Structure 1
Amino acid sequence: MLRFSFYLLLSVFIAGVLVVGAVLWSVLPGLPSANALRQVHLQTPLRVYTRDGRLIAEFGEKRRHPVTIDQVPQLMKEAFIAAEDDRFYQHPGVDWMSIARAAIELAKTREKKQGGSTITMQVARNYFLTPEKKYERKIKEIVLAVKIEQELSKDEILELYLNKIFLGHRAYGVGAAAQVYYGAALEDLTLGQIAMIAGLPKAPSTTNPVTNPETAAVRRAYVLSRMLKLGYIDAAAHDTALREPAAAVVHGLSTEVSAPYLAEMVRSVLLKDYPDDAYTAGYRVFTTVESDKQEAANKAVQTALIDYDRRHGYRGAEHHFNLAPDVEVHVWTDLLKGYFDIGPLRPVLVIAVNERDSQVYTANQEILTIPWEGIKWAREYISHNARGAAPKNAGDVLQLGDIIRIDWRPPVTDNEKATDLNSVVAVGFWRLAQIPDAEGALVSLNSHNGAIQALVGGSISRKINSIE
């Protein structure tokens, strides 16, 4: 009987070895080299810069900001490890204990559920395999994860993971997620924000702090509890992070210099020359534009267009609402939704009209006064060459409930001549304005080599290049 048991166990062992060998023989030839991850190309958008390295624009479907592992805060690493793979630094790429638990769950429920995947296995799947839940893919994932662990360091694997993972709202990688959700660099994130981002891989599209703050807060609490249990944070830090607001808003790209027409010219050239990968190869285009000259050109064109338009008369409010005098403040705020700053022109709601001034409400919930000095210019526009009579009081120009534009008239300087200098003019004041109908352009060229140093084309509000 003992001999029979021995031969039975030996037969099972040999059969197991043969099965594993057959699986490896069929799987290994089709797997890529793990070392190829060192040369992997992440889809990174096209970025356009000034000559001095300031960002003008970004073009691409995916938001990605690759970072090295040294640029990732320690708490960020620990948050992802706590949430996704707390034995990351101990296992050889595959956590057999987690796989065993997943297998037991499968036997109990007869349902295939996600489970047992380590960070290394996720790297293997995200870079080389498909996300479909099939046994063949899972076997390849396990074998490839072991290969990756043999050829790459743990830090290299973690860096690949943190740059590739999808985190919702077109953000791929932690660098992009920090900017998209919080408008911040990784090193400026709070613990609560770090935990929120670390909780996103499970369901990034539906449990992020923009789409579903309540569910995201629950996931953040789980990540923080895991970090506390593993000793990454103390109870005080845990409790403070839990009290942070859960909701977030999508932050657009933070460009440093406004040159949209130039950026579009660059995009068109790159798309023509590199049609297959213009938006994904991570091209960084440094133009000859100098940021200080571009900013000066923007200001010069905006000021000239606004002044030119003002000299031809006032065309009236952008919109008018029938506004009761005693309406609540939140109604004012709602009426301004959909109106945004255009250059120096701010949208405001007229909430009071007096004889010689007017009070207006801004989207920032400020109440400002437009003095008579800022209103008296507004003779009615009749035609390009004709204006109406000069207004006698503010009521000739403005009405309660008007949506108008204002800009700031800075104080006069010693170099300016003020024909009616008074205290208001001396300190600066808010002035009635309007979006110009006129268009203009400015190109500044280097006289030695013809390089473009600044380029402004079109109008303040319409994206039309008047230079081309």
Structure 2
Amino acid sequence: MSKPKKWYKTFFNAICYIFISLVSASISIATFSFLALFIWFQSYLGEFRNFTIKKDFTIKEVHYYPISLEQAPNHLKNAFLASNAIYNFDPLLKYVANKLLRRDPKPIRDRMFKEAFLTLGLKLFMPKDDLFAFYLDCIYLGNNSFGVEAGARIYFAKHVEELTLAEAAALAVLSVGPAEFNPFKNPEILKQKQPYVLKQMLVLSWISEAEYNQAVSQPLVYKSMLNRNK
């Protein structure tokens, strides 16, 4: 005569079945959500790849000279990372998402949710170098200038690869407050803020103390050469 099954074995089997079912359902939902996000993100991928600032404006005074990330010197990249505290890339993701959503032809009634999903899509599917290149290429630096190349030409009559550490730090300050720190109107205020960027770079070991001291002591001479193409 067979022994009757104990109730706790039946209960345990039921719990295991429920647990496995929940895990399977969670995996299915997560997979579906990931694929849905990826497909939705593709609608913005082309916009990201072909983005150009000049599409946003009809006025001729906009200054924009696209460059590759390789053209920007390391000290300029680090200055912008330090000034905006975007070395953790979260603010950078939000900036890029906001730029892309501004170009959305459909009414954005649920902008907060779209921005959150687009930010997640950028974080999951886009290389960090591409995001940072987009940022440096599009950031507004005042006086109708967009991107670091335009900033270099307008404020220092140079190409971006010619900027000194001191000049790069000054441009980085402008990315935080282009109107407030406009060097053509408030050169003293910009010069006061520039050491904060350099100090942050020093703290992060991106520059040496000697480089910091040299950059802080370097006079900033502002001059514009908007028509310099070579």
- TM-score, normalised relative to structure 1: 0.37
More relative contact order in 1 or in 2 (CA 8 Å, sep 6+)? 2
Offset at residue 254 of structure 1 (A): 2.6
Counterpart AA for 1:120: L
Kindly indicate whether residue 100 of structure 2 is the aligned counterpart of residue 127 of structure 1: yes
Check 1:31–1:151 CA distance in 2 against 1; reply closer, same or farther (3 A cut). closer
Cα contact 2:152–2:160 (8 A) shared by 1: yes
Inter-partner Cα distance in structure 1 for 2:71 and 2:226: 22
Offset at residue 243 of structure 1 (A): 1.2
Counterpart AA for 1:79: A
**Which sections of structure 1, spanning at least 5 residues, go unmatched?**
1-20, 45-58, 95-117, 131-135, 257-468
Cα contact 2:86–2:92 (8 A) shared by 1: no
- Alpha-carbon displacement from aligned partner over 1:349-408 (angstroms, at most 9, x marks no partner): xxxxxxxxxxxxxxxxxxxxxxxxxxxxxxxxxxxxxxxxxxxxxxxxxxxxxxxxxxxx
Inter-partner Cα distance in structure 2 for 1:142 and 1:236: 42
Counterpart AA for 2:50: Q
Query: Is the partner of 2:225 in helix, strand or coil?
Result: coil
Let me know the Cα RMSD of the aligned residues: 2.8
Inter-partner Cα distance in structure 2 for 1:32 and 1:125: 16
Pick one of 35, 45, 50 that aligns with 1:39. 50
Structure number with the higher helix fraction is: 2
Inter-partner Cα distance in structure 2 for 1:34 and 1:218: 40
Q: How does 1:67-466 map to 2 (within 5 A)?
A: 67-88=67-88, 94=90, 118-129=91-102, 137-254=111-228
Structure number with the higher strand fraction is: 1
Inter-partner Cα distance in structure 1 for 2:112 and 2:221: 36
- Alpha-carbon displacement from aligned partner over 1:310-363 (angstroms, at most 9, x marks no partner): xxxxxxxxxxxxxxxxxxxxxxxxxxxxxxxxxxxxxxxxxxxxxxxxxxxxxx
Offset at residue 83 of structure 1 (A): 1.3
Offset at residue 201 of structure 1 (A): 1.6
The count of aligned residue pairs is 186
Inter-partner Cα distance in structure 1 for 2:206 and 2:114: 33
Cα contact 2:62–2:145 (8 A) shared by 1: yes
Residue equivalent to 2:7: none
Offset at residue 139 of structure 1 (A): 4.3
Query: Is the partner of 1:43 in helix, strand or coil?
Result: helix
Residue equivalent to 2:63: 63
Offset at residue 30 of structure 1 (A): 8.5
Cα contact 1:209–1:246 (8 A) shared by 2: no
Query: Is the partner of 1:148 in helix, strand or coil?
Result: helix
Inter-partner Cα distance in structure 2 for 1:86 and 1:126: 16
Inter-partner Cα distance in structure 2 for 1:174 and 1:63: 11
Offset at residue 123 of structure 1 (A): 1.1
Inter-partner Cα distance in structure 2 for 1:32 and 1:138: 19
- Alpha-carbon displacement from aligned partner over 1:32-71 (angstroms, at most 9, x marks no partner): 7342211223318xxxxxxxxxxxxxx9321111000111
**Which sections of structure 2, spanning at least 5 residues, go unmatched?**
1-29, 104-109
Query: Is the partner of 1:200 in helix, strand or coil?
Result: helix
Offset at residue 247 of structure 1 (A): 5.0
Check 1:242–1:151 CA distance in 2 against 1; reply closer, same or farther (3 A cut). same
Query: Is the partner of 2:176 in helix, strand or coil?
Result: coil
Which of the two has higher C-alpha Rg?
A: 1
- Alpha-carbon displacement from aligned partner over 1:144-191 (angstroms, at most 9, x marks no partner): 112112222111101111111110111110011101101111111111
Check 1:62–1:31 CA distance in 2 against 1; reply closer, same or farther (3 A cut). same
- Alpha-carbon displacement from aligned partner over 1:93-150 (angstroms, at most 9, x marks no partner): x4xxxxxxxxxxxxxxxxxxxxxxx1121111123239xxxxx644433321121122
Which deviates the most, 242-251 or 162-171? 242-251
Inter-partner Cα distance in structure 1 for 2:86 and 2:169: 15
